[in-house]
Structure 1
Amino acid sequence: PLESLDVTVLSKYVLAPLFNITDLRRDSRIDFVGGIRGLEALQERVDKGEMAIAFAMFPVSMEQLMHIADSGNIMPPKVTWFEPKLRSGLVIHQFLNEEPHGQADNRSIENKHESKIV
């Protein structure tokens, strides 16, 4: 569960006791670099003096995410970073076939759909 996530271990055993950082959302000493940017982005920010130290963590697996969600827990900040990002809104794919389930062939379903961004 939550205790097994890299971010929980980092927060509990490094950030809180050594740096007195207990609020990952609001502490101005914390910044986040999305994993898609790679380790080079972390190294560059440390080399430029923008950061004093950087930590890289493994991404949360889909299994971990589902287990935590199913147990009713809330993920820590920035742990649920997914890419690519949608430009905005939610994409909904709506099938317009009004045939009762199982009576339409696949071609009619494929030809009667639309996608919307809301």
Structure 2
Amino acid sequence: MTSIITSYWKVFRLIFVMFFLYLMGDAFFRWDGFSYYATFSEFLPAVALVSILWSAVALFTAMVIWLGGSLLEWLCRRTGWKIRIEHLLLFISVFAVLGALAWTGKRIIW
């Protein structure tokens, strides 16, 4: 049971951090335009509400990704492969980073 909870929290932390980095970038980009006609104290409640809603979205997204990973882990265990959710997350993360590097390199070259 603790292994299940631990693996879910690993997925949740990853998704939560990614979502909030995106949210903070977007919020302060919008604040740049918002600052011309309002104060930061008027902008702060909107950011707080969006943060709460974004947390709920991160929770749901992490649950969907974790359930998919758990299903894949269960299928691999039934076939005899020793693949765990942590291995899957590491593979996807490395694949995404390499894809981003290739895309950035392509933009620099061309």
Calculate the TM-score normalised by the size of structure 1. Answer: 0.23
More strand by share: 1
Calculate the TM-score normalised by the size of structure 2. Answer: 0.24
Looking at CA atoms only, which structure, 1 or 2, has the larger radius of gyration?
1
Report which structure shows greater RCO (CA 8 Å, sep ≥6).
2
